[in-house]
C-alpha cells in the first residue's frame, strides 16, 4: 500500500456490526482515516476501533452524511437489515433500509464527489438450485426478501457507475462466521449453536442438517473488503467464500469434536427461503484482486469456540 493511499479518508457504514467492526480495525491498522456510521440497531459501539470516528445515526440521514462525506475517498457500505428469517416476516423493512437508504447514500456521494463504493452483498442473490460451486455468472433468483434487497441494490450500483461514474464493487458474502460480541438470540447458525451448547440447552437445526454451505472466517472477509477498496475498478461483482462446501450436520459434528461433547439436537424441520446449496466459486476474486482465504474451517471454528467459551466464563463472574 502506498503512503498516499494509506492516508485517505474512508467511511464504513454498519461499522459497529459483526463484519463491519473487523473491516474498521483492518482499515485503521492500514493507516486509513476512518469514519463510522451505525444506528446501533444491531451493532455495538464497543466493537468500533477507538482510532475511528464514530457517528450514531442512519445512512438515510442527509444532514449526517453532509457532515461526514466531504473529502471521503471510499465508502465501505456494510449497513443493512440482515438475516434471512427476519426478512420473511418484515420484507418491507428490508427494501426500505437495504435499497432506499442505499440510494440516499449514493445520492449524497454524488453530491459530495465521492467516487467509490464497496458493498456487502450476499450469496442469497443466487437461487440455490445450480450445481456448486456457484460463480458470479450463474443464474440469480433470490429465494427470500433479504436476498432480493441485496441484489436490487447491486443493480442500483451498476446504474450509478454507468450514469454518474461512481465505481462500485459488490462482494457476495457466503456464510461468514467468527468471534462476535453481543448479538443476543443470534440467528446465524454457528453462534446460535454455540450459545445453546454452552448453556447446556438443545441445539436447534433445520433440514436435518442436509444443506451444503460455504463458511468463511470474518477476518478473511474483512481483508476482501479492504482489498476491493484499494484495487477494484469500475463496476464488479465478486464471490467471497472459502470455496469449499460442508454439510451443516458435519459442521455441527466438528463443533462437538472441538468442545468434546455430544449435542442434544432439536430438529426444527424445513425453513422457507433456505437454498439447499451455497458454495462459492472464488476464482474471479483470486485472479483479479489477488485475494484468498487464509483461515481454514477447523482453525476458524476453534477460534470461534474459544471466544464464546471465554465470553461465557466472564458473564458467569
pLDDT for 157? 98
CB-facing half-sphere around the CA of 213: CA atoms within 13 A: 25
Helix (H, G, I), strand (E, B) or coil at 85: helix
- At residue 22's C-alpha, the angle toward residues 304 and 317, to 5°, is 50
Tens of pLDDT, residue by residue over 250-285, are 999 999 999 999 999 999 998 876 778 889 999 999
Which of 125, 120, 131 has its CA nearest to residue 75?
120
pLDDT for 84? 56
Which of 37, 19, 296, 24 has its CA nearest to residue 180?
19
CA pair distance 144, 85, nearest whole angstrom: 9
Tens of pLDDT, residue by residue over 184-212, are 555 688 999 998 999 999 999 998 999 99
Residue 25 predicted with pLDDT over 50 = yes
pLDDT for 139? 85
Residue 121 predicted with pLDDT over 90 = yes
H or E stretch covering 213 = strand 212-213
Which of 86, 222, 82, 224 has its CA nearest to residue 153?
82
Residue 313 predicted with pLDDT over 90 = no
| Catalytic residue set | 146
Give the predicted TM-score (pTM) of the model. 0.91
Cα 272 to chain centroid distance, Å, stands at: 21
CA pair distance 218, 307, nearest whole angstrom: 13
- Cell readout for 88 is 420473511
Residue 44 predicted with pLDDT over 50 = yes
DSSP code of residue 131: P
Q: Is the dihedral of CA 313, 315, 316, 317 positive or negative?
A: positive
pLDDT for 232? 96
Please report, in angstroms and rounded to a whole number, the separation of the first and last CA atoms in the chain: 44
Amino acid at each position: 500500500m502506498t503512503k498516499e493511499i494509506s492516508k485517505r479518508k474512508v467511511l464504513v457504514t454498519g461499522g459497529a456490526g459483526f463484519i463491519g467492526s473487523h473491516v474498521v480495525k483492518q482499515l485503521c491498522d492500514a493507516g486509513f482515516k476512518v469514519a463510522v456510521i451505525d444506528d446501533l440497531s444491531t451493532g455495538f459501539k464497543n466493537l468500533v476501533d477507538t482510532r475511528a470516528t464514530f457517528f450514531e445515526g442512519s445512512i438515510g440521514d442527509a444532514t449526517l452524511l453532509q457532515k461526514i462525506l466531504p473529502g471521503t475517498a471510499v465508502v465501505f457500505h456494510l449497513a443493512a437489515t440482515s438475516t434471512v428469517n427476519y426478512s420473511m416476516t418484515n420484507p418491507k423493512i428490508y427494501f426500505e433500509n437495504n435499497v432506499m437508504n442505499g440510494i440516499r447514500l449514493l445520492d449524497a456521494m454524488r453530491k459530495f464527489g465521492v467516487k467509490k463504493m464497496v458493498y456487502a452483498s450476499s450469496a442469497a442473490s443466487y437461487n440455490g438450485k445450480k450445481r456448486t460451486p456457484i460463480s458470479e455468472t450463474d443464474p440469480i433468483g433470490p429465494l427470500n426478501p433479504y436476498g432480493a434487497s441485496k441484489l436490487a441494490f447491486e443493480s442500483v450500483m451498476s446504474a450509478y457507475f454507468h450514469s454518474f461514474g461512481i465505481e462500485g464493487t459488490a462482494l457476495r458474502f457466503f456464510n461468514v462466521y467468527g468471534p462476535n460480541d453481543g448479538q443476543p438470540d443470534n440467528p446465524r447458525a454457528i453462534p446460535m449453536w454455540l450459545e445453546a451448547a454452552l448453556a447446556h440447552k438443545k441445539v436447534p437445526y433445520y433440514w436435518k442438517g442436509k444443506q451444503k454451505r460455504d463458511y468463511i472466517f470474518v477476518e478473511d472477509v474483512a481483508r476482501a473488503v479492504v482489498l476491493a477498496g484499494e484495487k477494484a475498478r469500475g463496476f464488479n461483482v465478486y464471490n467471497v467464500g472459502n470455496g469449499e462446501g460442508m454439510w451443516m450436520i458435519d459442521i455441527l459434528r466438528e463443533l462437538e469434536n472441538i468442545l468434546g461433547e455430544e449435542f442434544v439436537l432439536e430438529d426444527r424441520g424445513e425453513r422457507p427461503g433456505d437454498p439447499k446449496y451455497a458454495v462459492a466459486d472464488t476464482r474471479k476474486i483470486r485472479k483479479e484482486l489477488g485475494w484468498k482465504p487464509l483461515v481454514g474451517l477447523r482453525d476458524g471454528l476453534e477460534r470461534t469456540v474459544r471466544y464464546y467459551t471465554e465470553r461465557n466464563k466472564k458473564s458467569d463472574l
